[in-house]
Amino acid sequence: MFEKVLITDEERQMFPKWTVLDEDLADVDPVLAEQVLESRLEFSRGDISRTDYWHDPEGIDVIADIQYVDDGTRAHRLDLYLPHDSVVRGSKTTPVYIDIHGGGFVYGYKDLNRNFCTNLAKQGFAVFSISYRPAPETDFLGQLEDTAAAFRWIREHRDDYPVAQDQMFLTGNSAGGTLALYMTAVERSSEFAEKIGIGQSGLSVAGSALISPLTDLTSYLALCGFDAKCEFGDARLVPIIDCIAPMFFTRLFDRGAELADLKTMAEEVDFPSVFINTSSDDFIHVESLKLATALVAAGRDVELHDWHTDKGQTLGHVFPVCMSWLDESQKVLRLMRDFAYAKL
């Protein structure tokens, strides 16, 4: 099916450790399927150079592959990363972050963010890390439905673990930041939840920490109703999202284009404090600034960290997640700790 796409045997063996490749593309339009596979391979080839640095810090316990929907699929699993001291003490006070990974809505599972999540746990958090179905297996609302199902599982089962039982914090990077933003709106506004058609889980979201989030979906909604025949060179900020937009955002578009308007969302949703991290060489740098501007204009509490790189230095997109060993990344993790602990 993909004669033009070259995948080595080594890549076939390595990449599925953290992402789906072409297993879900058999019934997809061949042009779109090839574009999705090319994007997954491009993302994987960028991430594989960092795998030598991936490790779990000492003192972190891992409970992996918990099925939050009882269907046996990989996309409906979550991990829990815990400070070992919380386990020893049987603590019910360890604050919680729920992490939603990125990947252009088409790439990756929770395993992609394990290094970030274990390092965040090292800062004194219990971290739930969730997978969700990638596009084109489902659309944007389907990914929100998966995320909401994971949230409900956490609410129903959190008493089984040594974690705080009340308020929780969300975090997400890139496309995961989009999902975290929308889930914050769902959990904080019953009216928004009803409009978008996603049920509230009952979790109390005390704050959201977004890493290089994609925030303005209006230009992608404008593509709904058209065929997915884009060329990567003609795309907006994220080429693959242009390609999937007609199938991916149509249900959101049908429920109201205003749901993607940041100004309206910021004014109508009772947002908690929002932490935003980006860098001057982040290719979607402007997306963080758009969100910060909308939230500030609506009188919301925003903590923006906009890193400016020195000459010859690279930080780039989602650097605290994909390169958590950097000094700058470790500082971001400490800032995320301070952000959350100040609200306990």
- Total domains present in the chain: 1
Can you give the residue range of the structural domain that contains 70?
60-214+256-341
Tens digits of residue pLDDT in 328-337: 999 999 999 9
Residue 178 lies in a domain: yes
What is the C-alpha to C-alpha distance for residues 154 and 156, in angstroms, rounded to an integer? 5
Residue 14 lies in a domain: no
Residue 65 lies in a domain: yes
What is the C-alpha to C-alpha distance for residues 143 and 128, in angstroms, rounded to an integer? 17
Biggest alpha carbon distance in the chain? 56
Task: Give the phi and the psi of residue 173 in degrees, each rounded to 5.
Answer: -120, 140
Q: What is the pTM of this model?
A: 0.96
What are the DSSP calls for 296-338, one per residue?
HHTT--EEEEEE-PPTT----TTHHHHTTTSHHHHHHHHHHHH
Residue 272, CA distances (Å) to 2, 170, 185 in order: 46, 11, 9
Question: Looking at residue 234, what DSSP letter applies?
Answer: G
Q: Look up tokens 């997809």; give the residue.
A: 28
Tens digits of residue pLDDT in 142-197: 999 999 999 999 999 999 999 999 999 999 999 999 999 999 999 999 999 999 99
Q: What is the CATH number of the domain that holds 173?
A: 3.40.50.1820
Residue 204 lies in a domain: yes
Buried b (16+ CB within 10 A) or exposed e, 266-285: bebbebbbbbbbbbeebebb
| Strand blocks (E) in the chain | 60-67, 77-83, 96-100, 126-130, 167-173, 204-211, 273-279, 302-307
Q: Judge contact between 39 and 104, C-beta under 8 A.
A: yes
Residue 190 lies in a domain: yes
Q: What is the pLDDT of residue 1?
A: 61
| pLDDT reading at 233 higher than 80 | no
Residue 240 lies in a domain: no
